[in-house]
Amino acid sequence: MTVQRDDGLEGKVALISGGASGIGQALAIAYARAGARSVVNYFPQDPHDAQETVKAVADIGGECIAVAADVRSTEDCNGLADAAIKHFGRLDIAVAAAGILRRDPLGQMEDKAWSDMLDVDLTGVMRVFRAASSKMTDGGAMVATSSIAGGVYGWEEHAHYAAAKSGVLGLCRSLAVELAPRKIRVNSVIPGLIRSPQSMDAKNSLGDAGLDAAGNIIPWGRVGTVDEAARTIRFLTSDDSAYMTGQQLIVDGGLTVRWPS
């Protein structure tokens, strides 16, 4: 028996911010498995090499291009959407996965630290979606990555990060209503503890040891993988979720529903 995909992703083109590593990189690979092509951005000062994403996609027969773009720049975000049209001739999906994470106690937090965080993790999402919506075919889909920090829980010494991630949810709900006449769906994912370059940063996040310990309180018995988060995003941009918009999916192995004990 010949098995055919019916999720509507084959031939689609996705724009992914933050595609040089982590969930964004895993998503480009997941799209390639589904027959979709990707444009990923990378921040030139980022230590992660976006060409590794391009190669990983090519290794499984997919197609992906990497474009230098800072989500703090409207011009760069517009250029990212333009690159999708120029290279692939269309744009169907936009995923805002770029983000930064910094530890800053309130009493020591400077205005610039607060502004920088929101400029990337919240306003950067808006810039990506604004640029993509101007080029996107009707019937497209958008997804932004929030976090259980802000999306569900508070996180001490990370108030600016949690505020940005909470704001992402309101942004997506509002855009879901605004873009509904064009049948563009807008949803968000709320990743729990996912092992990624960001969470493995012991200075600003949990680090490897902290992630290992956290697995003991997660019902699933471990932290999540970037591929598991990416597959949820892929679902939200596929025909399998065609009647979902303005929603949030928590991907956390049951962490947020476990009774404290």
Both tokens assigned to 54: 């391009």
Q: Which residues contact 243 (CB under 8 A, 6 or more apart)?
A: none
C-beta of residue 98 within 8 angstroms of C-beta of residue 80: no
Other beta carbons within 10 angstroms of residue 54's beta carbon come to: 22
User: Among 31, 42, 153, 161, which one carries the catalytic annotation?
Assistant: 161
Burial class (CB in 10 A: 0-12, 13-18, 19+), 247: middle
- Give the contacts of 74 (CB within 8 A, at least 6 positions apart): 127, 130, 131
CB 240 within 8 A of CB 141: no
Q: Which of 190, 183, 177 is nearest to 246 (CA)?
A: 177
**Burial zone of 163 (CB within 10 Å; 0-12 exposed, 13-18 middle, 19+ buried):** middle
- C-alpha 105/C-alpha 159 separation (Å) is 8
The yes-or-no answer on residue 161 being catalytic is yes
Backbone angles phi, psi at 47, to 5 degrees: -70, -15
Show which residues are catalytic.
161
